[in-house]
Amino acid sequence: MKRFSVFFYGAIACIMSCAAYAERGDFDFERWNDLQLSVRTAATNDNISTATIDATLKGPVFIPKIVYNDKNQAEFKMTLDDYLARTVSTERVRNGRNMSKKYPTLLGKTYNKYGVPRNVMLAFWGMESNYGAVKKAYRLKDAFFTLMYDGRRESFFTKQLLSLMKTADENKLDINNIYGSWAGAMGHFQFIPTTLAQYGADGNGDGKIDIINNVSDAMFSAGNYLNKLGWNPNEQIAYKVLIPNDFDAGLIGGDKKYNVSKWSQMGVLNIDGTSLNLPDYVVGLVADTNDKTALNLVPSPDNDIGSQSMRVAYLTYPNFYRIKRWNNSNWYAIAIHELSEKLK
């Protein structure tokens, strides 16, 4: 009877959303039913309450658009300049400054507890959800069931669903009212459930962790995550420089790290064209390998350009690579740097 019940409710909930699949005979209702039964078994074994399990299995919906999104993620072809124009916009900077004025005490408490400066917290908040303005797109349980059914990363998304169920259980949240992105990220800083389980922190002392509706919890959780990644508040993220336009492309992906003095010997200059005069730390170098646009700065007695055409790059410090453990993208890390600089 239990198997029939799970099948019945799951099938009824899917009838409209997977009609196109069903018409082609592509949708496997038995597999959909079996996924729900396996979740019930795993959740029971994980000591998740019957109430949360029943709520999770009450009418999960298959969403074809999520499968489409997963199979058609756009190849990243945007130039760095275009990416920064979109992510470090005047509006985002203005909104960040407004949030700095709105939450000075919370930002200060986060810094005191986790050592992450307020401008850095604001940069992550702005990049991840535009300070909480990102719309709630999908019920997360529906997103996870859909991605589990699709099968490309079934074990990963099963783990995320079970983690979400446990979080809902422990914090007395209604799992049917937890929304996020099609890929399963949620809240002000777009945590996936396993990240929330590991780094979630109670920011307002109410004994619960709600990173979607509670800014204090979201801020403390993000601060805790960055702290555990090793964030150094006394260290910069990146430093904007110039490199010759014909600089070796194999050296500008951020993986090769040398002392600043060696980069200087290879022709790296300050953004004004003068020679580097920085502490001799070991750093990486990142530039847009697809953008060969030269700045064509004019040589003068005040710079060391000589006759070379130059373009912008970034020396990248350890905090840069900590950002990449949050989001493994050079462009994202540079955007965090640029946005945090504007929010100082």
DSSP secondary structure, 175-206, as one string: GGG-EE-TTS-BTTTTB-HHHHHHH---SSSS
Tell me whether residue 58 is in a domain.
yes
Same domain, 150 and 57: yes
Tell me how far apart the alpha carbons of residues 153 and 73 are, in angstroms, rounded to a whole number.
15
How many folded domains does the chain comprise? 3
Tell me how far apart the alpha carbons of residues 197 and 164 are, in angstroms, rounded to a whole number.
8
Tell me the whole-structure pTM to 2 decimals: 0.87
pLDDT at 299 (0 to 100): 58
Tell me how far apart the alpha carbons of residues 158 and 146 are, in angstroms, rounded to a whole number.
10
Tell me how far apart the alpha carbons of residues 186 and 134 are, in angstroms, rounded to a whole number.
10
Listed in sequence order, the residues at least 6 apart from 201 whose beta carbon sits closer than 8 Å to its beta carbon are 209, 217, 220, 221, 223, 224
- CA angle (196 as vertex; 190, 197 as ends), nearest 5: 160
**Could you tell me whether strands 282-286 and 258-259 are parallel, antiparallel, or unpaired per DSSP bridges?**
antiparallel
Same domain, 223 and 159: yes
239 three-class SS = strand
pLDDT higher at 172 or 320: 320
Lowest mean pLDDT among 19-33, 145-159, 161-175, 216-230: 19-33
Tell me how far apart the alpha carbons of residues 83 and 130 are, in angstroms, rounded to a whole number.
15
What residues form DSSP beta bridges with 270? 241
Same domain, 295 and 253: yes
Same domain, 169 and 301: no
Same domain, 122 and 100: yes
Same domain, 59 and 148: yes
The model's pLDDT over 139-191, given as tens digits with 9 standing for 90+, comes to 999 999 999 999 889 999 999 999 999 999 999 999 999 999 999 999 999 99
Task: Tell me the mean pLDDT in the region 31-58.
Answer: 96
Tell me whether residue 34 is in a domain.
yes
Cβ–Cβ < 8 Å for 260, 279: yes
Range of the domain at 86: 80-129
pLDDT band at 7 (very low <50, low <70, confident <90, very high): very low
